[in-house]
Amino acid sequence: MVHDGNFIIKVRCNICGSVHKFRNPVEPRKARKPRGKKEAEALATSAIIWEAGLAGAKGKERDYNMAAKYRVGDIVNHHLFGKGIVMKLYANKCDMLFKDRERLMASANEYKRA
pLDDT tens digits for range 39-82 = 666 666 778 888 888 888 877 789 999 999 998 889 999 999 99
Average pLDDT of the chain to the nearest whole number: 83
Residue 111 belongs to some domain of the structure: yes
Q: Is residue 11 part of a domain?
A: no
- Answer for the pair 104, 95: CB distance below 8 angstroms, yes or no: yes
Residue 29 covered by a domain: no
Closest CA to 74 of 62, 90, 89, 59: 59
Distance CA 65, CA 7 (A): 65
User: pLDDT per residue over 78-102, tens digit each?
Assistant: 999 999 999 899 989 999 999 888 8
- β-strand partners of 93: 90, 106
- How far is the C-alpha of 79 from the C-alpha of 48, rounded, in Å? 21
Q: Is residue 73 part of a domain?
A: yes
Number of structural domains found in the chain: 1
Strands of 7-12's sheet, edge to edge? 2-4, 7-12, 19-21
Q: Domain of 91?
A: 55-114
> How far is it, in rounded angstroms, from Cα 108 to Cα 66?
7
The verdict on residue 59 lying in a domain is yes
> Does residue 109 fall inside a structural domain?
yes
